[in-house]
Amino acid sequence: MEKAEPRWLNSAEEESWVSFLVATRLLWSQFERDLQRQAGLPLTYYEILSMLSDMPGCALSLSRLAGLLQLSPSRLSHAVSRLEETGWIRREMSVSDRRKWSAVLTDEGMEVLRAAAPTHVESVRTHLLDQLTPAQTEQLGEISRALLVHLAPGLDVAQAISRSKEAGQVDPEIMDSLSGVC
């Protein structure tokens, strides 16, 4: 059986791909720098705290957390250990399956998240959203949803949006209502 010829990118496709790749890497690096500089928090730790804040009881199994954040088990384990040392999360053994563990956001972790959220939101606004027109922002959403349907067909986008809102992309009064949620 003969191998099919690769579908090479034409120049417009290649330019779009390389621009997308470089822009997303630069954005993530900028978000990381801003969070580190302003809040002393790595972006991965912020994402973990944010994800937990949106879950019932502010808890999620470690395997599910790794899957949702696309982290290897070893990278998540390292991050959870560090967050546990700071007192921002704690590990709890599953009641139904004693082989499984969950990460639980602590009150102190919620406070750290609430303090870091304005920095993250401002970074997203400054380096991404403020660089786009409203029409481009809408297009970015449409493009992202199309990619999500292909890459993560079971992902509940509404839940992801809800998580983003609870992480600080809404009115500060709503953020105040998050204290003590866990």
Segments making up each domain of the chain, as ranges: 30-176
Mean pLDDT for 145-150 is 90
Residue 168 pLDDT exceeds 50:
no
- Percentage, residues of the chain above pLDDT 90: 69
pLDDT at 172: 38
**CATH number for the domain running over 30-176:** 1.10.10.10
pLDDT in tens, 23-36: 999 999 999 999 99
Residue 178 pLDDT exceeds 80:
no
Residue 152 pLDDT exceeds 90:
no
Q: Which of 72, 137, 109, 54 is nearest to 62 (CA)?
A: 72
Rounded to the nearest integer, the mean pLDDT of the chain is 87
Of 47-61, 67-81, 95-109, 164-178, which range is least confident? 164-178
pLDDT in tens, 90-118: 999 877 778 889 999 999 999 999 999 99
Burial class (CB in 10 A: 0-12, 13-18, 19+), 2: exposed
Give the pairing type, strands 101-105 and 89-93: antiparallel
- Residues contacting residue 177 through CB under 8 Å, at least 6 positions apart: none
pLDDT at 180: 46
More reliable by pLDDT, 79 or 158: 79
More reliable by pLDDT, 133 or 54: 133
